[in-house]
Amino acid sequence: MLIELMGLRKILIPFTILGLMAILYMNFMHWNEPAESYYNSMYLVNRTTTVFNGILLVFALIIVFLSANFYKDEQNHWSDYLAIYMFAVCGAMLMVGAHHLLMTFIGIEILSVSLYVLAGSNRKKLESNEAGMKYFLMGAFASGILLFGMVLLYGATGTLHYEKLSTFLYSHTTLNIGFLYSGLILILIGFLFKVSAAPFHFWSPDVYQGSPSLVTAFMATVAKIAAIASLYLVLNQVFVPLHHLYDVVLIIVSIATICIGNILAIIQSNFKRMMAYSGISHAGFMLVGILAVDFNHWDLIAYYAAGYGIANLIGFGVAIVVFKSMQNENISAFNGLFFKRPILAVTLTIALLSMASIPPMAGFWGKYYVLSAALSKDLLLLVLIAIVNTVLSVYFYFKVFVAIYARRADNTPIDVSGWYKGFLILLTLVLIAISLMPDMIARCL
């Protein structure tokens, strides 16, 4: 899993891709076998973790493809960046597969520390340094809170292993220890920080805006989905007996997250900042999923995550080349894109239509699953608020369309190579394919 390379720059990308593909293969190798655990049963491999890890690996592959173009001018640090990305992916997979809270914590830390470095990796730009610093300070704080919560939990129960914890909680239903409850709340806070849910979202717009665009794409997809999956697995494997405690918290947090994400996205003029807020609102929707979707329907959350991630990656893939040529990261950089680069414009349009959840795109089916699960749990108010917010989200995604199609272009040409366009088209086809088969994960199971 760990790839570190010195020299031999030409084969760097092919090697990384081959490595990731090999891991992807190994990931699915155990598909038909019963669940297995490793490292004193601290790491679990079953179909759930396989699917989530598969999604993360595919996204990592896409990021590596995109990095070939993104780091073209920075040949010197290429291998460093790629190695850090691979560390981060490793951490993300550990988070998903973990079956012991300490392992989860180690995964989170590997992912976070790599991201701190990557966020600040554009050393010559002030914003990048600021993003790295800000992310590091707040992230370290959140890790501390998470770890403190785990300590309290250990004090209350005497174990951190998922299964043992769960049996303990089931057998001590009348247990009323302050340690346990405060531990649970602190752990929740730690996770909610990582998924950038309100009110722990303040870092995300600044960090997304300041970081290099590819790192932003990585944070918005791999890091966010790993955190969501990990939270989902922890809550559903361990804390189900305490769900009356955290349900209300999650309802309030998800409503706040959806509202804040969408309302603040409307007033943004910076594309990356807008995507940060839209990511916050999508995290809110996934929290609704965590709240409402039964554990044997985990594939619905995986589907939402996959659709959201692919659309996001296409969006950033287009944005990266446009920003690079235009020297501008505002929505106005897309002005008249359709008449300069129709293929880029159309792929971006399809991706944003999916994120705006226009049927029959993947974003629509994702929201359908999440919201109908919420409806069957009688959360009508939550659903109505979510729907109103969907209309708001249409408003800001369509601001981009207005820029692409209805504003005059300036004369700056946009450089993009043929294979890059081909790759984006391929991604768009994948997005359309998963839009047309929303039940594909369930069918494979």
Partner 1 sequence: MISILLLILPLLFSLIILAGPKQHTARLSAGLSVVSLLVSVYAYCEFMQHGVTQFNFDYEWIKNPSIHVKFTMDGIALLLIILTNLCIPFVHLSASARKLDHPRIFHFLIFLMQSALIGVFISNDLLLYYVFWELTIIPAYFLLLYWGGQNRRRITLKFFLYTVFGSLLMMVAIFYLYANYSQGGALDSISIYNIKVEPKAQTWLFIGFMMAFGVKLPLIPLHTWQANTYHMAPNQGTMILSGLLAKMALFSIVRWMMPIVPIAVVKLAPYVAGIAVIGVIYAGIVAIMQKDMKRMFAYVSLAHISLMVAGIFSLNQSGIQGAFVQAFSHGINTIALFICADIIQNRTGTTELSRLGGIRKIAPKFTTVFFVVMLATAAIPFSNSFISELVVLYGIFHATPTIAFVAVFSLVLGAVFMLRMFRQAVLGPENSNTSGFRDLSISEKITTYPFVILIFVFGLVYQPVFNVSTDSVNNLLTYINTWSMYTPGSILP
429 binds partner 1 (CB under 8 A): no
Interaction mask 406-425, partner 1, x per CB under 8 A:
x-------------------
* Nearer residue to partner 1 within complex by CB, 126 or 387: 387
Separation between Cα atoms, residue 130 and residue 146, nearest integer Å: 24
CA 147 to chain centroid, in Å, comes to 22
Q: Provide the minimum distance between the beta carbon of 311 and partner 1 in the complex, in angstroms, as a whole number.
A: 16
Q: Provide the minimum distance between the beta carbon of 269 and partner 1 in the complex, in angstroms, as a whole number.
A: 15
Q: DSSP assignment of 180-197, as one string? A: HHHHHHHHHHHHHHHTT-
Q: Which of 248, 381, 387, 444 binds partner 1 (CB under 8 A)?
A: 387
Q: For 266, list phi and psi in degrees, rounded to 5.
A: -60, -40
* Nearer residue to partner 1 within complex by CB, 35 or 375: 375
384 binds partner 1 (CB under 8 A): yes
The three-class DSSP label of residue 201 is: coil
Q: Which of 330, 405, 412, 414 binds partner 1 (CB under 8 A)?
A: 405
Please check whether residue 27 is in contact with residue 71, taking contact to mean a CB–CB distance below 8 angstroms.
no
Q: How far separated are the first and last CA of the chain, in Å rounded? A: 26
* Nearer residue to partner 1 within complex by CB, 89 or 292: 292
Question: Residue 197 half-sphere exposure, CB side, CA atoms within 13 Å?
Answer: 25
* Nearer residue to partner 1 within complex by CB, 172 or 297: 297
Percent helix, strand and coil across the chain, each rounded to 5? 80, 0, 20
| Single-letter residue type at 19 | G
What number of other Cβ atoms are within 10 A of residue 305's Cβ? 26
390 binds partner 1 (CB under 8 A): yes
Separation between Cα atoms, residue 71 and residue 122, nearest integer Å: 11
391 binds partner 1 (CB under 8 A): yes
Please check whether residue 88 is in contact with residue 218, taking contact to mean a CB–CB distance below 8 angstroms.
yes
Choices 38-46, 166-174, 270-278, 372-380 (CB under 8 A): range interacting with partner 1: 372-380
Q: Provide the minimum distance between the beta carbon of 201 and partner 1 in the complex, in angstroms, as a whole number.
A: 24
Q: For 74, list phi and psi in degrees, rounded to 5.
A: -120, 55
Please check whether residue 139 is in contact with residue 203, taking contact to mean a CB–CB distance below 8 angstroms.
yes
439 binds partner 1 (CB under 8 A): yes
Q: Provide the minimum distance between the beta carbon of 284 and partner 1 in the complex, in angstroms, as a whole number.
A: 16
395 binds partner 1 (CB under 8 A): yes
Q: Provide the minimum distance between the beta carbon of 371 and partner 1 in the complex, in angstroms, as a whole number.
A: 6
Q: Provide the minimum distance between the beta carbon of 270 and partner 1 in the complex, in angstroms, as a whole number.
A: 20
Q: Which of 376, 381, 419, 444 binds partner 1 (CB under 8 A)?
A: 376
What H or E segment, with its residue span, contains residue 44?
strand 43-45
Q: Provide the minimum distance between the beta carbon of 340 and partner 1 in the complex, in angstroms, as a whole number.
A: 14
Q: Could you list the residues that contact partner 1 (CB under 8 A)?
A: 353, 358-360, 368, 371-372, 375-376, 383-384, 387, 390-391, 394-395, 398, 401-402, 405-406, 437-439, 442-443
